[in-house]
Structure 1
């Protein structure tokens, strides 16, 4: 005699397992119908797993390159801003110097010296700019601030003026001080490295920077009673006039330096734009590999829900039959 209760129990157990499986499939398919992406990408990719891995590696390489470009972008932006602040007011200071010479007024000379000193302070602060822990104008010595204080700088220039016998001697001593190889400016006041392995970097020894600091320093001593007054009046005024003229050229040189930095910024921006476009293409490719047709998923979901409902009904009927057999 066939044990009907055993068969009923066996079928019920199988239905229970089927129901559990259907519910799992409903959960996955429901997610796919909403997101349009395979709930199990690995299983969905199947034979394309190798292609997917290579594509993902390409995306990661692009992300690394983008990070490097973002780092370059940040450093170049700070460099550009520092040079801009250094260049502020140079033209106005040159004009003020010429006005002071024309007026021949001690008050005008004192005002000129004050403006030049303020710009010198701002320039040195700008040149000590950092990105993180990296000083940007120190060449390879990125752990060192490139310049000391304006007080120390002017102390050097006043010592040169005190030691000079006349304007010609003063000019010669200044040339020696600012010599890029042997001068104290490059070897003592400047604390950074003369070389830079970073092709984007601008060092504090760039001629445009050195020239700007030189002329701002001289004009900072323009007020009556300062170091330049040791020379004859004619020589003092000549020194001020020459520095004002040279500051105009320094301004132009800084413009060229900023333009060169701007070209690098443009290249970095173009590089980032190109990488972004490449990443978009690869992302679309990856998404295409793991995509699930939402209409198809919705249709499957309805079918699964119907199967689940039927399984529940069948389980209920079997349970009733089993109970009736037991009662008999």
Structure 2
């Protein structure tokens, strides 16, 4: 006697449903791998060894941080370069004017020279008070405050130092002394920190330092000579025309020498800009290489995945066909 093993309709239906769900999950997995190019079961693909993948992820996170750092450093140095260019341009314009005005003893010309000097002083002080990304450029570590007080404050303080002086030497020396005195310019006008900005990290083993504040000797010399020029025609000083002419000539020469200093400052900042750009390029190349290696580590073979997907789709179609046939079974059809 032969034993016959049969399966009830309910059990058969549950088996077909379970198989259908399994095939659909396989299709979903293979479709994801086809579209993303990555395996869905990373643990199984790597046999549970995540060490290489985690190391790559750590390096990529570090490069992400350096990408932000180089972008911020680049923004900072670019803004500083533009500010120094503004300062240099203002010094150059006033130098030409003062040297030209120095050849004339006409009072109206002197007035115009002081007016231009006042305008250029506003320009220079505004440039040095520039912010980038919410941070002051020339305030040292105190990036939350503007480095310089107003031009009016500077001129009022300097006028008090020059009032009553009647010779070119006395006036220029008094101005120089006040700007160099810690209780003078640094205390009355400069509002930033004595400590310069800390070096900015731009790669694993590289950083850039920009130790420039508004108290840099070159910038102070420019502010000093421009401010004195703005006060030369001040009635409170009561300077005669010939002394005004001599002062404008002297100040023009001093500002011409200051231009070399501002050019050097711009060159220093330009060198930092170049290093930041080079570091950003290297970091980007390293990131591209790491991303390629990471993708290769968990990549799904497109040909194999396509073949498997086609096979599983065929299995699903076959399962549907069996399911439909079972649904159409009846005693009448069986007895035919």
What is the distance in 1 between the residues matched to 2:270 and 2:76? 12
What is the distance in 2 between the residues matched to 1:243 and 1:110? 15
Equivalent position of 1:139 in the other structure: 140
Structure 1 residues 12-21 or 158-167, which shifts more? 158-167
Matched, 1:186 2:186: yes
For 1:70-109, what aligned pairs fall within 5 Å after superposition? 70-109=71-110
TM-score (norm 2): 0.88
1:14-73 CA-to-partner distances (Å, cap 9, x unmatched) read: 221111111111122123223322234344333442211111111001111222222211
1:175-219 CA-to-partner distances (Å, cap 9, x unmatched) read: 21011x534011221111222142324111001100110111112
* Contact kept? 2:149, 2:190, Cα under 8 Å: yes
Deviation at 1:265, TM superposition (A): 0.9
Equivalent position of 1:213 in the other structure: 223
* Contact kept? 1:75, 1:131, Cα under 8 Å: yes
Deviation at 1:141, TM superposition (A): 2.5
CA RMSD of aligned residues (A): 2.3
* Contact kept? 2:105, 2:242, Cα under 8 Å: no
Deviation at 1:12, TM superposition (A): 3.1
Secondary structure of the structure 2 residue equivalent to 1:187: helix
1:263-294 CA-to-partner distances (Å, cap 9, x unmatched) read: 01111111111111111010001111121122
TM-score (norm 1): 0.90
For 1:1-328, what aligned pairs fall within 5 Å after superposition? 4=6, 6=8, 8-179=9-180, 182-198=182-198, 199-223=209-233, 226-227=235-236, 230-321=238-329, 323-324=330-331
Distance 1:104 1:73, change over 3 A: same
* Contact kept? 2:27, 2:313, Cα under 8 Å: yes
1:131-181 CA-to-partner distances (Å, cap 9, x unmatched) read: 3443221122223221111111111222122132432222221121011x5
Distance 1:164 1:105, change over 3 A: closer
1:225-276 CA-to-partner distances (Å, cap 9, x unmatched) read: 5455x34443332221111101111111111001101101111111111111
What is the distance in 2 between the residues matched to 1:232 and 1:320? 119
* Contact kept? 1:101, 1:237, Cα under 8 Å: yes
Q: Which runs of 5 or more residues in structure 2 are unaligned?
A: 199-208
* Contact kept? 1:97, 1:109, Cα under 8 Å: no
Structure 1 residues 95-104 or 146-155, which shifts more? 95-104
Q: Which runs of 5 or more residues in structure 1 are unaligned?
A: none
Distance 1:298 1:102, change over 3 A: same
What is the distance in 1 between the residues matched to 2:217 and 2:312? 77
* Contact kept? 2:70, 2:280, Cα under 8 Å: yes
Higher helix share: 1
